[in-house]
Amino acid sequence: MHYNIKTTDFDITPEITKYLDDKLVTLEKYINKDDESVKCDVEIGKTTGHHQSGNIFKAEINVSIGKNLFRAVAEEETIYAAIDIVKDEITKRLKRNKEKRFVLFKKGGEKIKNILRFGRE
């Protein structure tokens, strides 16, 4: 899966890039690898620097598969925590979409079986 990384008020380090790569690899099991229409945009950065409690980091992931858009946003005190929360949220949404498609496929198969049986039991 190819993804674009955008940073806002934040310098990305190789450690953060590797951490982000490790987290985004887990999304591939919910996405068809051969599909060229899959786009993943990741935005990470500092939201503001004026908080008394320290910096607040934001992570956002947008995954578009054809006409469907899946989006997750998180704001946390560390960039790693924000990435973890966003990865969990987008994984949950992609998993729900995959299960939904599978259930619809199975229901279609059941209807076809009933049609072929002509309603006999």
pLDDT tens-place string over residues 59-113: 999 999 888 899 999 999 899 999 999 999 999 999 888 887 777 777 787 788 7
pLDDT (tens digit, 9 = 90+) per residue, 30-68? 887 777 888 999 999 988 766 556 778 999 999 998 888
Which pTM value belongs to this model?
0.78
Per-residue pLDDT for 120 more than 70? Answer: no
Residue 56: strand pairing partners? 48
Q: How confident is the model at residue 121 (pLDDT cuts 50, 70, 90)?
A: low
CA distance 113 to 45: 53
The CA-atom distances, in angstroms, between 28 and each of 1, 79, 97 are 7, 22, 14
Question: Is 94 in contact with 64 (CB distance < 8 Å)?
Answer: no
Taking the CB of residue 23, how many other CB atoms lie within 10 A of it?
20
Domains of the chain plus CATH, in order, are: 3-93 (3.30.160.100)
Nearest CA-CA partner of 98 in 72, 63, 74: 63
